[in-house]
Structure 1
Amino acid sequence: MKVFVLTGAGISAESGLGTFRDPGGLWRRFDPMRLATPEAFADEPEEVHAFYNLRRQGVREAAPNAAHAALARLEAGLAASGGRLFLCTQNVDDLHERAGSRAVIHMHGELMRARCTACGAGRPWAEDLSVDTACPACGRRGGMRPDVVWFGEVPRHLEAIAAALDESDLFVAIGTSGAVYPAAGFVARAREAGIPTHEINLAPSDTAGLFTEATYGPATQAVPACVDDLLREVSGEVSGKVSGSTP
């Protein structure tokens, strides 16, 4: 079985990381046009750095939760049965990796990486950034930025994402608002291809009506339960193939 999982901010909320569009979310409290665009970084780099330094600190202090761990278990279980998990996240945190997931596609970049706007070099980065931070590759100061996708920039890995989605046997969206494109359009693409779709969320998303199945509740409860069901299904398929084989 090939499973495509899309995760959003909701999967990390129980780890203490803020969501974006929910009541009290980051973009309800802060203006994204002042903090999350290339223009904002050019005009007010100190303000942008302060915001992302605070978010980076939050990621450092957060720990993966049971939902992240369940997806790492799903990845291993599918691989053991000859299947595959394609884990695509809109999140810029590293909680999937810290929970044990080996292959994570970050379509919106990674907060724990930095990139130089002068030479383009990127590298892991867990500390604060400032206008005085020098690029380790070219030495320029003032050009180091969080290696995340800002508003007005193109999400990453879109070709690989589209190919994996088209090849999947199941599409699952976890903790997403259904409001941010192109990710919000993945469920429609899956439906057009005849792929079963499952939403796991605290409440129905903006695209809830497009899913063929839904589970609503805290991610730390809903995701492990759904993973258990999937692994039992996969185990049954494998057992059926073995028992039906001929010497």
Structure 2
Amino acid sequence: MTTPTVLATGPAPVPTTSWRGSSFGTQVLVLTTRSLRALVRDPRLVIFSLLQPLIMLTLFSQIFSSIANTPGFPRGVSYIDYLMPAILVNTAMQSALQVGVGLVTDMKNGVLARFRSLPIRLASVLIARSLSDLVRSAVQLTVMLVLAVAVFGFAPAGGVPGVVGALVLALLVGWGLGWVFLAIASWVRNAELMQTVGFLAMFPLMFASSAYVPISGLPGWLQAFADVNPLTHAVDAARSLALAQPVTGLVGAVLASVVLAGAGGVLAIRGFRRPAQ
């Protein structure tokens, strides 16, 4: 008689699933919070980021205040009301440069190397950088506006709605330029070179524009450059909103910011995906 064979059986295998990481939105939120937390932990960054635009506001409002008496200057407008919208746009542009410098710093200190080993999308790192800079710029510009009202008597005809409109436009321009500097940073990967390129680009845009004096007061060749300078259109639009004047250049400034953000985003992601050299 044949004895049946009994096979030994163990516990049933437990099905396993591999964790593929959090959602894209969660990644952006966590990385944005990380950047903002680093800023809060070092208040020196906030203080020094405010000093430069405040110094510029103080110097230009005092040195060039006599321009308000020249024939080409808008009648019934004080120089501080004329200047402050330009300071908002210029400060947002300078803040955009820092987002590129911050990206280069993360590339050099090994933070991004650790991110590459995690199941996160590299695009979320760039978007988080852009958003954290947008929040930082919003705080910075709001503090500047409060000081301009309290100390310098900034009181444009557009009131709060016009000032808020100028603030939003300045943030949009800075956000678009921030993506351009992120693209440059992802390719050059050098903080010193990044700052040099940024300042070489910013100073002609700042001073060869309608930011500090009416274009009619510039030499002929500078007038030609200022007329095609995209910063002129952004400053004119922000100034028109703040002064409750017919808005000029608003559509062009918004479209230019969106185009710069789109093109800069594509180039930044391509450069960011390159292996470290």
For normalisation by structure 1, the TM-score amounts to 0.27
Write 1 or 2 for the structure with the bigger share of strand: 1
TM-score (norm 2): 0.24
Query: Whose helix proportion is higher, 1 or 2?
Result: 2
Specify the structure having the higher radius of gyration (Cα): 2
